[in-house]
Amino acid sequence: MAKKHHEDHFSPRVADLMSALTLIFLFISVVYMLQVNKEKERIEMIAKDFKNTKYEIYTDLNEEFKDDLKKWNAYIDKDTLSITFKEPDVFFDIGSSNINQKFKDILDDFFPRYVDILFTKYNNEIEEIRIEGHTSSEWNRNDDGLQAYFKNMTLSQERSKSVLEYCMLLNKMKPYRDFLISKATANGLSYSHRVMEDGKENFSKSRRVEFKIKTTAEAHINDILEAGGFNETN
C-alpha cells in the first residue's frame, strides 16, 4: 500500500513537469517562427527594392548609351547590370595590357557618363563597381593547362587594372575620385568564365572587358542572415 501511495504521489509531479516542458518548447517554437517570418519579410522587402533599383539602373544606362553601344561593339546585360565590351584584342595589343587609342577614345566618352549616373542617382545603392578582364582559353593554349590559365590570369588582371587606372586619371573624373576609390575594383578572371555555346567555347565572346555593378542589397541580406543565425559558421 505504501508503494502504491508513493507512485500516486509521484505521477502528478511527472505530469506537471512534462506539461511545463511542452509549454516551454511550444513557446520557443512560436518565438522562432515569428523571428523567421520577420526576417523573411525583411529579405523579401530588400529583394523587392533591389529588383526595382536594378531596373532603374538598367533603364538609365540603356537610355544614356543606346545610341553608342553598337559602334562600341558593346551591350548591356539587364540581369547582371554589366556593360560588356567585346573583342578586347581590338582594344589592346595582342598579349599586352597597353590600351590602344581606339579604346581610349571610347573610354573617354563612356566612363565619365557612366560614373556620373551611378554617383548622382545611386551613390547609396552601389556596393562595388567591378572592371573585369576575361580571356579565352585560346591564348597560350600550347602551354601546360595550369600554366596557360595563370598566364591568362595575369593578362586579364593587367588589362582590367590598365582600364581602371586610365579611367580614374581622366581629368573629368577628379570630382569622382574619392567615390571611385571606395567603389571601383579591377579583377582579372582569366578564362574561368568562358562563354559556351552548344557545348563549345566561343573564343571571340569569351574575350571581353566588363563593367559590373554590385548593389548593397546582397550585403544587407547577408547581414540579416548572419544576425539571425541562418548562415553556417566554421
The answer to whether residues 136 and 196 touch, using CB atoms and an 8 Å cutoff, is: no
Kindly report which listed range (4-8, 74-78, 220-224) carries the lowest average pLDDT score: 4-8
What does each C-alpha distance from 196 to 3, 81, 136, 164, 206 come to in angstroms? Answer: 80, 20, 11, 27, 8
Among 218, 217, 193, 221, which Cα is nearest to 206's?
Answer: 193
The answer to whether residues 160 and 131 touch, using CB atoms and an 8 Å cutoff, is: yes
pLDDT (tens digit per residue) in 170-212: 999 999 999 999 999 999 988 888 888 888 888 778 888 999 9
**% of the chain with per-residue pLDDT over 70:** 71
- Cα–Cα dist 164/170, whole Å: 10
Tell me the β-bridge partners of 196. 201
Q: Which three cell numbers stand for residue 123?
A: 551613390
DSSP 114-172: HHHHHHHHHGGGEEEEEEEEE--S-TTTTS-HHHHHHHHHHHHHHHHHHHHHHHHTSGG
Q: What is the DSSP letter of 210?
A: E
The answer to whether residues 101 and 94 touch, using CB atoms and an 8 Å cutoff, is: no
CB atoms within 10 A of CB 109: 13
- Cα–Cα dist 69/159, whole Å: 21
The answer to whether residues 115 and 182 touch, using CB atoms and an 8 Å cutoff, is: no
User: What are the φ and ψ backbone dihedral angles of 165, each rounded to 5 degrees?
Assistant: -65, -45
Flag whether the pTM goes above 0.85: no
Identify the band that residue 15 occupies on the pLDDT scale cut at 50, 70 and 90.
low
Q: Which three cell numbers stand for residue 129?
A: 563597381
Domain boundaries, the chain: 2-44, 46-222
Identify the band that residue 33 occupies on the pLDDT scale cut at 50, 70 and 90.
confident
Checking DSSP bridges between strand 74-77 and strand 82-86, what pairing results, if any? Answer: antiparallel
Query: Domain 46-222 adopts which CATH fold?
Result: 60s Ribosomal Protein L30; Chain: A; (3.30.1330)
